[in-house]
Structure 1
Amino acid sequence: MSLSTETDVNVLLVDDLQENLVALEALIRQPGRRIHTARSGDEALSLMIEHPFALAILDVQMPSMNGFELAELMRGTERTRGIPIVFVSAAGREQNYAFRGYESGAVDFLYKPLDPHAVRSKVNVFVELFRQRLDLLHMQGELERAVRMRDDFMSMVSHELRNPLNTLFLQAQLRKRMAAAGRLPDAAAFGQLVQRDEQQIRSMIRLLDDIIDVSRSRTGQLAMSYAPMDLAALARRAVEAMDEPARAAGVALSLDAPASIPLVGDEVRLEQVITNLLTNALRYGRSRPVAVTLRVDGGEAALSVRDHGDGIDPADQERIFGQFERAESGRDVPGLGLGLFISRQIVLAHGGRLEVHSTRGDGAEFIIRLPSPPGGA
């Protein structure tokens, strides 16, 4: 369904005689079409300021302001000059009203008595043209948004890759100078250098993996490999893997989980989701404690990641699951804004849900809900 078919299209009828308005309205009324009527030029102008119209049908012979005068006013105003005008007149053709009507900017001129079929056909044409124009404007807006997203995306990718690459380059230059000076590091120092290199490389690989996952999700090709697994063991492993980054950020990271929660899923992909949520909690949690809780409730396994950062405004709680979207934190937080989008796609592929509960100023809780087989607790 096109955008234009989701809303009514406005048509304006202007005639000083109520019976003429009633008859014409009955003739052209259809579903998806809203008819507005005015009995004077001033009333018509007021309506045109309030509503966008696909067509205005004007009676020529009206007191105070006739149809031609109204048309001239319409053509002199930015908001109304694009409205197609069809004149209607009971005067004879010999008065040459049609010529004056076309001079006033009319697209058509009809004489009374009106031919019902001709009137309906002409109105249908202008209503359809208006709908198509709305669709084109919407498409133009979407294309402009896509171009902005592409430019923003390329800028973010460049920024996110530049940081670890710069770090690797500087470390390589440092080792080169140390080697030239004959001051090679001992085994312990060399191990630390390698560890830092691995961290930067993993950061870049994770970034590239996210980009690939977004591309695959768009085509329905996000790969999953389902097998029996233990969600509790997976949660423990994911939390342990984040223990060092948490300590480096000064964050107390805790886990409360039962001994085992068996279910069927893609272990690698679900670990990716938990890691994404923990990474975000460290980024946005303002160095306050982060708690991971795992429970089985009502046939579902529920894994919660709770931070105590700034929280997320209600208006943003759905937006942040979109592509390239991030929570507003007032700080320069790294990342492309892909993690939550990918995480939700993975959870949905498991027949589950990824939810967020948050109050601004009181942190955020992200909950993964997955179907748990009977006896899984």
Structure 2
Amino acid sequence: MPPGERAPHARRLRPDTRLRTLGVSPPASPGGALPPVSDSEPASILIVNDDPVVRYVTSRTLRLAGFRTLEAGEGAEALRLAAGLPELILLDVQMPGLNGFEVARRLKANPTTAGILVVHLSGERLDSEAKVRGLEGGADAYLTLPIEPAELVANVRALLRLREQALSAVRRRDAFFGAAAHELRTPLTALALRLQGLLRALERNGGEGLPGAQLREHLSASAQQVERLQRLAGSLLDSARPQRGLPLEIAQVDFSALVHEVVARHRDEAAHAGCPLSLDVEPGVVGYADVQRLAHALEALLSNALKYGVGRPVSLRLRRVDGRAQLSVRDEGIGVPLEAQARIFERFERATESYQGSSLGLGLYLVQQTALAHGGSVRVESRPGAGATFTLEVPLSRSQTY
């Protein structure tokens, strides 16, 4: 069309009528604007269409809904603007030059832009084969014009939610691998140092055997680190199980003796953390349970208390209450925010960001799974800055179906 010349009949159509003729519903007026996306940084949407009216209406609809928008009139310009990494691209299929199929293919073939959501938005009724071609070629969804503004915005929001869920899963995976590497490295480093010390001692002794006490010290310390690695491996395996409940090996358990044993193993850790330990254990609390899983659950609660209550007292209490063993671990640390108190029992979750790099986020999850497998429960009572009390309850009777 020559510059300055108007499209035939365009000036005889009312704006709303022309928009519908082009296959676009007019946007809501400011008085009936769609609700904004969120209070956070709005998502960026790239609108690619060779019709300037469709671009304008689509852009205005999305801006009224709280999105940021960019516009491109042809495929090459869309590829250039995609380098800025918008969250989503609304891409016309039929365009001169590079059509929408080719633009989507190039976007998905480029590792930099492959993660951008691409939605084919076409005013033409494409046959099923063309739609399949577009989706298999890299598009994430297909929408047909005309489309109501609310429906367009709802589709965009739904796709962005799915994108955020996928990105969140990737972030959690990366954080998990980082924490797992840290957790593995700590006992492995300690074990390596012990073995190196043992070798040096043997060399100093001319290759002859070491005194029993010295050898026992090295081997005992090495065995503790191996045990720690075994517990970590067990936690990883348990977290990977389908959520049908942990398998249990039920036997008679002296809960009172178990508490004393677990605390004795953690005396050095408590001293290093500067946490005086106090015990209030009712004697003779005996029942049926999986002793290893209960020991690991108690160790997880105690380790949590020492980590988040460093430098302050930690207390443990055991009581028989209504046919159940009730074990509480109390710290005087930073506490757990109310909004996090349910979340912390989920897999890979932590109460605060402070210890993200040094925790797998599995301890409390496995405590809860252990409690549930026994027909029991675990709960937390806490206020920020006022410490936390974790209470684990399990039935003492073996009549429970495991």
TM-score range, shorter chain: 0.5 to 0.7
Q: What SS is found at the alignment partner of 2:62?
A: coil
Kindly state the Cα deviation for residue 71 of structure 1 after the two structures are TM-superposed: 6.2
Kindly state the Cα deviation for residue 347 of structure 1 after the two structures are TM-superposed: 0.4
Kindly state the Cα deviation for residue 197 of structure 1 after the two structures are TM-superposed: 1.2
Match of 1:302 in 2: 326
Query: Structure 1 123/350 Cα, relative in aligned 2: closer, same or farther at 3 Å?
Result: farther
Query: Structure 1 317/47 Cα, relative in aligned 2: closer, same or farther at 3 Å?
Result: same
After TM superposition, the structure 1 = structure 2 runs for residues 18-167 of structure 1, keeping only pairs within 5 Å, are 44-48=29-33, 50=35, 73-77=56-60, 79=62, 107=123, 135-167=158-190
* 1:260 matched to 2:245: no
* 1:365 matched to 2:348: no
Worse-matched range after superposition: 348-357 or 126-135: 126-135
Choose from 238, 251, 254 the match for 1:230.
254
Query: Which amino acid in the other structure matches residue 79 of structure 1?
Result: L
Unmatched runs of 5 consecutive residues or more in structure 1: 1-14, 17-37, 53-67, 84-104, 109-121
Q: What SS is found at the alignment partner of 1:296?
A: strand
Match of 1:199 in 2: 224
Query: Structure 1 48/209 Cα, relative in aligned 2: closer, same or farther at 3 Å?
Result: same
Query: Structure 1 301/178 Cα, relative in aligned 2: closer, same or farther at 3 Å?
Result: closer
Match of 2:263 in 1: 239
Q: State the distance in 1 between where 2:35 and 2:386 align.
A: 43
Q: State the distance in 2 between where 1:227 and 1:170 align.
A: 38
CA RMSD of the aligned region, Å?
4.0
Q: What SS is found at the alignment partner of 1:154?
A: helix
**Contact 1:283/1:333 (<8 A) preserved:** no
Worse-matched range after superposition: 196-205 or 256-265: 256-265
**Contact 1:310/1:329 (<8 A) preserved:** no
Unmatched runs of 5 consecutive residues or more in structure 2: 1-14, 17-24, 38-50, 64-68, 70-88, 91-120, 125-144
Query: Structure 1 291/48 Cα, relative in aligned 2: closer, same or farther at 3 Å?
Result: same
Q: TM-score, normalised by structure 1?
A: 0.64
Query: Structure 1 71/46 Cα, relative in aligned 2: closer, same or farther at 3 Å?
Result: farther
* 1:315 matched to 2:306: no
Match of 1:327 in 2: 351
Q: State the distance in 2 between where 1:106 and 1:203 align.
A: 59
Kindly state the Cα deviation for residue 127 of structure 1 after the two structures are TM-superposed: 8.4
Query: Structure 1 267/322 Cα, relative in aligned 2: closer, same or farther at 3 Å?
Result: same
Query: Structure 1 180/240 Cα, relative in aligned 2: closer, same or farther at 3 Å?
Result: closer
Q: State the distance in 2 between where 1:208 and 1:359 align.
A: 33
Choose from 215, 235, 238 the match for 1:213.
238
Q: What SS is found at the alignment partner of 1:302?
A: strand
Query: Structure 1 125/343 Cα, relative in aligned 2: closer, same or farther at 3 Å?
Result: same
Query: Which amino acid in the other structure matches residue 50 of structure 1?
Result: P
Q: State the distance in 2 between where 1:225 and 1:135 align.
A: 45
Q: State the distance in 2 between where 1:161 and 1:257 align.
A: 33
**Contact 2:281/2:317 (<8 A) preserved:** yes
Q: State the distance in 2 between where 1:247 and 1:221 align.
A: 35
Query: Structure 1 229/201 Cα, relative in aligned 2: closer, same or farther at 3 Å?
Result: closer
Q: What SS is found at the alignment partner of 2:244?
A: coil
Match of 1:10 in 2: none
Query: Which amino acid in the other structure matches residue 306 of structure 1?
Result: R
Kindly state the Cα deviation for residue 213 of structure 1 after the two structures are TM-superposed: 0.8
**Contact 1:254/1:291 (<8 A) preserved:** yes
Cα-to-partner distance string for 1:35-62 (whole Å, 9 max, x where unaligned): xxx9xx796245345357xxxxxxxxxx
Q: What SS is found at the alignment partner of 1:77?
A: helix
Which structure is larger by alpha-carbon Rg, 1 or 2?
1
Match of 2:85 in 1: none
Q: State the distance in 1 between where 2:248 and 2:309 align.
A: 31
Match of 1:57 in 2: none
Q: State the distance in 1 between where 2:170 and 2:384 align.
A: 32
Cα-to-partner distance string for 1:150-182 (whole Å, 9 max, x where unaligned): 222222211221222223333333443443444
Kindly state the Cα deviation for residue 130 of structure 1 after the two structures are TM-superposed: 7.4
Q: State the distance in 2 between where 1:146 and 1:329 align.
A: 17
Q: How many residues align?
A: 290
Worse-matched range after superposition: 291-300 or 357-366: 291-300
Q: State the distance in 2 between where 1:350 and 1:260 align.
A: 20
Cα-to-partner distance string for 1:335-357 (whole Å, 9 max, x where unaligned): 32211011101101122211111
